[in-house]
Structure 1
Amino acid sequence: MARPRSTLISIEDTPFYHCISRCIRMAWLTGVDRYSGKSYEHRREWVESRILELAQIFAIDVAAYVVMSNHLHLVLRVDIFEANSWTDKEVVAHWHQLFKGTEVTQKFAKGELVESFEVKALKHSIAQYRSRLSDISWFMRCLNEPIARQANKEDNCTGRFWEGRFKSQALLDEAAVLACMAYVDLNPIRAKMAATPETSDFTSIQRRITAACNGEQPKSLLPFVGNERKDMPKGLMFSAKDYLQLVDDTGRIVRADKRGAISQTSQLILDRLNIPQANWLKLTTEFSRLFKGPVGTLQELDAYCEHLDRKRRQGAANCHRWLDSA
């Protein structure tokens, strides 16, 4: 039985979540339908553009994404602190980029006089918008619904385009986050849709590589900020260069026609995460098969289940086998 989303999200334990949406029946999101021969490649741009747009509107950062032929993967980071730091006007401005709002919020946004009897309704709307702008369910709703409408219009049909619910799983520690990101970034290579990360179109890894060639990081993605230090900025606690090297090394091993090996730089990351090479390759090729629920060491998994009052530790055996210290 599917669990309510509220029983899967625990920001107290982790802000990172892996989300997957799949098309229903034989629907095609992108790519070429092998049965009809019809190309849906142009839909990749729809999805990628919407993901990057929402990353600027929501208090939710995108760490990784990939758009496959009939599903998409996202690694998201919820930023409650950013949502709470916005002024009331900023909250309304962000929300109005997505929805019309109410007559009162429209007046407030334009700087018009809000009558005393309207203040209570205005405060309620702002509190609701602030909560929704840091809510993964609303992020995915704002991503999937417009794509479904566009696809159904193009296909001249009605009805569901996506499966009833997107899947989400908590990533409880940095090893789980990095392994999941690499798994997502290597999807096109495993599926033989691309030969290298830089040729994996409409993916986060390609966007990061393109930016790195100019000595930058993409502004639309959660940045890598290096090792932990005082006044730590928001981001992933690794260097962008080291992560790109790790993904490239792993991709070469995954490909049957390449003689790949983990470099010394990549090995240092695996040592820091306390993950043996064999475990890393298993994680980055079979992450979704290995884990159906929260992912992390047993210690992190115990804390997560305790906070959510869950008696059963789903996936504990695989968490211990592949992520606990060897």
Structure 2
Amino acid sequence: MTLPRSTQISLDATPYYHCVSRCVRRAFLCGRDSKSGKDYEYRREWIENRMYKLAEVFALDIAAYAVMSNHYHIVLYIDREAASKWSLKKVITRWQKLFKASSLAQRYLQGDTLDHCEVTRLKEVVSLWRERLMDISWFMRCLNESIARQANAEDNCTGRFWEGRFKSQALLDERALAACMAYVDLNPIRANIAKTPEDSDYTSIQQRIRAVASGKQPKSLLPFVGGERLSMPKGLPFQLDHYLELVDWSGRHLDPRKRGCIAENTPPILERLGISPRHWLYLNRNFESRFKGLVGSVKVVQQACSHLNKRWVHGIGDCRRFLSATPQI
């Protein structure tokens, strides 16, 4: 049974969420359709550009993404603190970039004098818009509807382009976040459409690798800021070079035809996260299928369940096995 988003999303539990949308009837989002022979590769850019545009409007940052032939992955960070500081004018201006604002909001922007009742009503409406601008459901709606309209218009057809609702997973701790991001970044390699991370087109990992050459991080992506510390800036709690090394190392071990022992020179980030190399590689292949709504160590999952009034969560056994502080070998 499909669960309401309110039982899966809680900013008090985590600001990080992994979302996946798939096309209906195995329709092609991008890539070449083997039956018709038509090439839809250019549609990947539609998704990528729309992601970036929406991230500039919403109080959301993109941590990772991968656009595949008939689905896409995106890991989002909800910046509640930034949204809470937006002025009335800033919220209205952002909302107007996507939707038509009310006549009351337009009068406010034009500098018209509003009476007490009108100001009260405007604040209520703006409060609703503020909530929506840090809501992943509204973000995904704006992303998917736009792409569906473009694709249907191009294909001269109507009806659903995407499967029902998008799938979401709450990433409750660093282990879940790192494993999910690597899983997303390695999608093209698992699908055998790219040999290396730097050759993985329309992925966040390719954008990060390209930016490394200039000694910077992509402005369109949530930056890596290093390990947890006092006065922690906004960003991913890992070293960028350690993460890139981890993804590169993981990609070299994803080929199912390769057997044998895992090299001893595993990336140090695995030691800090407390994940065994074998379990890490298993997560890189099976993260999406093994976990459902809540992902993290047993302790944080149980805490999130308590907050969401859930008695049980699917995949708790795998959380204990693969994402515990002292993994079982």
Please give the range of the TM-score, normalised by the shorter of the 2 chains. over 0.9
Is residue 63–residue 75 contact of structure 1 (8 Å, CA) maintained in 2?
yes
**Deviation (angstroms), 1:242:** 1.1
SS at structure 2 position matched to 1:219:
coil
CA contact (8 A) 2:262 2:277 kept: no
Report the secondary structure of 2:64's partner residue.
strand
1:213 aligns with 2:213: yes
The answer for the alignment partner of 2:31 in structure 1 is: 31
Aligned match of 2:65: 65
Between the aligned partners of 2:38 and 2:114, the Cα distance in structure 1 is: 53
Matched ranges for 1:132-171 at <5 A: 132-171=132-171
- Contact 2:32–2:38 (Cα < 8 Å) also in 1: yes
3-state SS of 1:198 partner: helix
CA separation in 2, counterparts of 1:220 and 1:32?
A: 28
Instruction: Measure the CA separation in 1 of the matches of 2:224 and 2:105.
Output: 36
Q: Which moved more, 1:29-38 or 1:229-238?
A: 229-238
Q: After TM superposition, give the deviation of residue 117 of structure 1 in Å.
A: 4.5
Unaligned ranges ≥5, structure 1: none
Please state how far the C-alpha of 1:114 moved relative to its aligned partner. 3.3
Relative to structure 1, the CA distance from residue 257 to residue 208 in structure 2 (aligned partners, 3 Å threshold; closer, same or farther) is farther
Task: Tell me, in whole angstroms, the C-alpha distance in 1 between the residues paired with 2:248 and 2:9.
Answer: 32
Larger CA deviation: 177-186 vs 162-171: 162-171
CA distance 1:261–1:211, change in 2 (3 Å): farther
Q: Which residue of 2 aligns with 1:251?
A: 251
Give the deviation of 1:154 after TM superposition. Answer: 0.3
Q: Note the C-alpha offset of 1:231.
A: 1.7
Name which of structure 1's ranges 114-123 and 170-179 shifts more when overlaid on structure 2: 114-123
Q: TM-score, normalised by structure 2?
A: 0.95
Kindly report which structure 2 residues correspond to 1:42-81, keeping only aligned pairs within 5 A, or say none. Answer: 42-81=42-81
Residue 183 of structure 2 is aligned to residue 204 of structure 1: no
Q: Does 1:235 align with 2:235?
A: yes
1:193 partner amino acid: I
Counterpart-to-counterpart distance in 2, 1:282 and 1:310:
27
Give the superposition deviation at 1:107. Answer: 2.1
- Residue aligning to 1:15: 15
Q: Which letter does structure 2 place at the counterpart of 1:224?
A: F
How many pairs were matched up? Answer: 325
Aligned residue in 2 for 1:285: 285
Deviation at 1:291, TM superposition (A): 1.0
Is contact 2:24-2:161 (8 Å) kept?
yes
Q: CA shift at 1:227, angstroms?
A: 2.1
Aligned equivalents of 2:232 and 2:111: distance in 1?
Answer: 36
Q: Which SS does the other structure have where 2:26 is aligned?
A: coil
Partners of 1:197 and 1:248 within 8 A in 2: yes
Q: 1:12 to 1:262 in 2, by over 3 A?
A: farther
Does the CA-based 8 Å contact 2:249-2:267 persist in structure 1?
no
Mapping of 1:263-282 within 5 angstroms?
Answer: 264=265, 266-282=266-282
Q: How far apart, in 1, do the equivalents of 2:97 and 2:249 lie? A: 40
Q: Is the 8 A contact 1:250 1:262 kept in 2?
A: no
Question: Displacement, 1:109?
Answer: 2.4
**Superposition RMSD on alpha carbons, in Å?**
1.7
The alpha carbon displacement at 1:128 in A equals: 0.8
Q: Deviations over 1:266-308 (max 9, x none)?
A: 5310011100000000001111111123111110111011111
Q: TM-score, normalized by length of structure 1? A: 0.96
SS at 1:17's partner residue? strand
1:40-64 CA distance string (max 9 Å, x none): 1111010000111111111111100
Kindly indicate whether the alpha-carbon contact (under 8 Å) linking 2:30 and 2:42 is maintained by their aligned counterparts in 1: yes
**For residue 76 of structure 1, what is the amino acid of its counterpart?**
L
Instruction: Tell me by how many angstroms 1:256 deviates.
Output: 6.0
- Using the TM superposition, name which of 52-61 and 116-125 deviates more: 116-125
Q: Determine whether 1:126 maps to 2:126.
A: yes
Measure the CA separation in 2 of the matches of 1:80 and 1:167.
Answer: 22
Please give the per-residue CA displacement for 1:46-105, whole angstroms capped at 9, x wherever unaligned. Answer: 000011111111111110001111111111111111110111111111111111111111
Change (3 A) 1:263 1:46: farther
Q: Say which is worse superposed, 283-292 or 248-257, in terms of deviation.
A: 248-257
Residue 131 and residue 262 in structure 1: after superposition, are their counterparts in 2 closer, same or farther (change >3 A)? farther
Contact 1:224/1:239 (<8 A) preserved:
yes
Q: Distance in 2 between matches of 1:228 and 1:66?
A: 27
Whether the aligned pair in 2 keeps the contact of 1:250 and 1:261 (CA below 8 Å) is no
CA deviation string 1:211-255 (max 9, x = no partner): 111100011111100122232110111111111111011111113
Q: Secondary structure at the match of 2:253?
A: helix
- Which moves more between the two structures, 149-158 or 109-118? 109-118
Q: Which shifted more, 186-195 or 21-30?
A: 21-30
The one-letter amino acid of 1:95's match is: W
Structure 1 residue identity aligned to 2:279: N
Question: C-alpha separation between the residues in 2 aligned to 1:263 and 1:135?
Answer: 42
C-alpha separation in 1, matches of 2:295 and 2:209: 27
